[in-house]
Structure 1
């Protein structure tokens, strides 16, 4: 397992809370904890399991280990956050189901964010205001969204990677994701960053039940549809 700490600036005046985030849409599952460390910064703990075990096997030990390191119980969490996809169909389902169970048991709210919205925070420190977030969906396909500053100008969609790139020709933008020669992966730390950004501008929406974001049918569904044609 990989464990790292990061410190992110926050806006003062917000109610302090402890956030547990889960991300399972990518190859490796990750979890993150966020809590106030002083009046101007938040301390972020992010832990990733790169053992290659199925998400269904590795996610709970990952969360338990992180809570133990932080000296926290699940009941201490004020807000559960989850990467709701798009991404791995099975992975997204595992993460969303886990967070729904936690929130139901502890009677706490959920913040569900798009993996593409979370991914845009991987572009911090890179030159450019327009960001193409694109994840590989195999066979030249992808999931994409385009952001300009804080505004999403192309909502999350399933696409052909080349067609998406061609549609942006003539404009300046940077690409983040795991395609086009990039190796940016969605993780729970980026989910936390998106939650904090929404919380800072009062646009954070919470719910009692999160639903996966599927932008296209799964491979099993596509094969079944072809068989019935």
Structure 2
């Protein structure tokens, strides 16, 4: 049976959609707009993907969504779109950890570490720790960055920090083993193989009850006085 999985990534400012065929990226549409244009661009991107691939929606095997952590609004838009497609088409929903997917932006040597980190405002980031084989070895946390953050890993080997929270840590971390991979955001590209692996295991979410992994409660901004 053909495996056509639509992968959706909206956890940051990057609105990214890819079509995975047997775990390989076939078509990609993405745009990193700092104004968060997901609501306007996500559905047109999905249509463009299917048109380019000459694929009907009914030929989709599953929909994979980047589940977070990340932007509350971005995650909500992506998950709503993914669940809507799954409901309408009667196909399963696959969730992919945003930080795990982001870790695949880095390839490193055995003994090194990868720490994806996403901006959570001020000096706080969402982060997790992965080994060189992309196995998660520390839980996902919302943490306030300090000069000695991640010292236990920096003392053991080279540590690659990747994501839109990197610039914050670069300002205060001067450890020689730290490598900062800047200007890098999660993309649907890295979701393809992860989604295919879950699909083979029938590792699906309950479409009715699935919620994004926000990690922190949403805090609305104070409206500006007119």
Task: Give the corresponding residue for 2:138.
Answer: 154
Residues 177, 50 of structure 1: CA spacing in aligned structure 2 closer, same or farther, 3 A cutoff? closer
TM-score (normalised: structure 2): 0.80
The Cα RMSD (Å) is 2.3
1:188 aligned residue: 188
1:79 and 2:65 aligned: no
SS across alignment from 1:220: coil
Q: Indicate yes or no: 2:151 matched with 1:171.
A: no
Structure 2 CA distance for aligned equivalents of residues 180 and 98 of structure 1 = 29
Q: Measured at CA, do residues 49 and 43 of structure 1 come closer, stay the same or move farther in structure 2, by a change above 3 Å?
A: closer
Q: CA deviation at 1:169?
A: 3.6
Aligned length: 201
* Deviation for aligned residue 1:96: 0.4
* Cα deviation, residue 211, structure 1: 1.4
| Contact 1:142/1:158 (<8 A) preserved | yes
Q: Which residue of 2 aligns with 1:205?
A: 203
- Whether 1:45 and 2:30 are equivalent positions in the alignment is no
Instruction: Give 5+ residue unaligned stretches, structure 1.
Output: 1-14, 224-229
Matched, 1:90 2:88: no
Gaps of 5+ in 2: 168-181
Number of the residue aligned with 1:109: 92
Partner of 1:144: 127
Structure 1 residues 217, 176: CA separation in 2 closer, same or farther (over 3 Å shift)? same
Given candidates 92, 106, 131, the residue that maps to 2:114 is: 131
